[in-house]
Amino acid sequence: MNNDIAVIFDMDGVICHTNPFHSLAFREFFSTRDLAPTDEEFAQHMFGKSNSYILSHFLKRPVTGDELLQMEAEKEGLFRKIYEPHIEPITGIVEFISDLNANGVKLGVATSAPYANLELILSKVNIRERLGSILASEDVKKHKPDPEVYLKSADNLGVAPERCLVFEDSFSGVSAALNAGMKVVGVLTSHSKEELPPCNLYIDNYTDLSYNKVIKMFNN
């Protein structure tokens, strides 16, 4: 492994601001089961959590196996239907990715969402051909905060973990990147700085980011 660096993006809340639409999909899903979680409960028990955790928490019983797959398919189908007309990348990310790509940075996406959601977003946000690694929930056994998806991404890109920079917006996601031994930028779409583990940098969007800023983070 040479002096290459890699930048790896989570998807929800990092490439697109999807979380409000996940909330809407879960609201619809739960309302058919006579449940009405509050915004506070969603903030605490939904963003950055796996579907098995979310469903088990709100249904107050373990949801696993085939039942989990069926419920997950129902909820994610609702999400895609609700979100499709609204897909828009977070300000500046497409230009930032182009700048990184032009400077030879290896790029990846590592999401806890299913492939179908990733496919939907990549069909509207034109970055796919620049990505050297694309991983979704189907690709890992252990979900964030376990570092598996980030270590696998680094391996796919042929870059050592300490030469990787991750963009994340959730507590479990930032933790996964730190557990992988990577640098992290906290994207403040869903949470405040105080709600995330300590990151190397915090951003609201990508307008002030560039390849030069990324390189400085590795040279300090």
Last residue of a domain, one of 37, 55, 85: 85
The whole domain housing 76 covers: 19-85
% pLDDT > 70, the chain: 98
Residues in CB range of 149: below 8 A, 6 or more apart: 110, 111, 112, 135, 139, 140, 143, 176
Q: In whole angstroms, give the CA distance from residue 36 to residue 70.
A: 20
Report yes or no on 25 lying in a domain: yes
Report yes or no on 151 lying in a domain: yes
Do 70 and 103 lie in one domain? The reply is: no
Q: How many domains in the chain?
A: 2
- 46 to 50, 62, 122, 168: CA distances (angstroms): 8, 16, 23, 15
What residues pair up with 164 in beta bridges, in sequence order? 6
Do 124 and 204 lie in one domain? The reply is: yes
CATH number for the domain including 41?
1.10.150.240
pLDDT tier for residue 1 given thresholds of 50, 70 and 90: very low
Do 59 and 93 lie in one domain? The reply is: no
| Model confidence at 2: pLDDT above 50 | no
Tell me whether residue 38 is exposed, middle or buried, using C-beta atoms within 10 angstroms of its C-beta: 0 to 12, 13 to 18, 19 or more: exposed
Last residue of a domain, one of 58, 85, 112: 85
pLDDT tens for 118-159 read 999 999 999 999 999 999 999 999 989 999 999 999 999 999
- The reported pTM is 0.92
Do 161 and 101 lie in one domain? The reply is: yes
% pLDDT > 90, the chain: 86
Do 73 and 103 lie in one domain? The reply is: no
Do 161 and 144 lie in one domain? The reply is: yes
Report yes or no on 184 lying in a domain: yes
Do 71 and 139 lie in one domain? The reply is: no
Do 121 and 210 lie in one domain? The reply is: yes
Give mean pLDDT, residues 192-209.
96
DSSP collapsed to 3 states, 151-202: HHHHHHHCCCHHHEEEEECCHHHHHHHHHCCCEEEEECCCCCHHHCCCCCEE
| Model confidence at 180: pLDDT above 90 | yes
Q: In whole angstroms, give the CA distance from residue 181 to residue 162.
A: 6
pLDDT tens for 34-59 read 999 998 898 888 877 888 899 999 99
For residue 3, the model assigns a pLDDT of 64
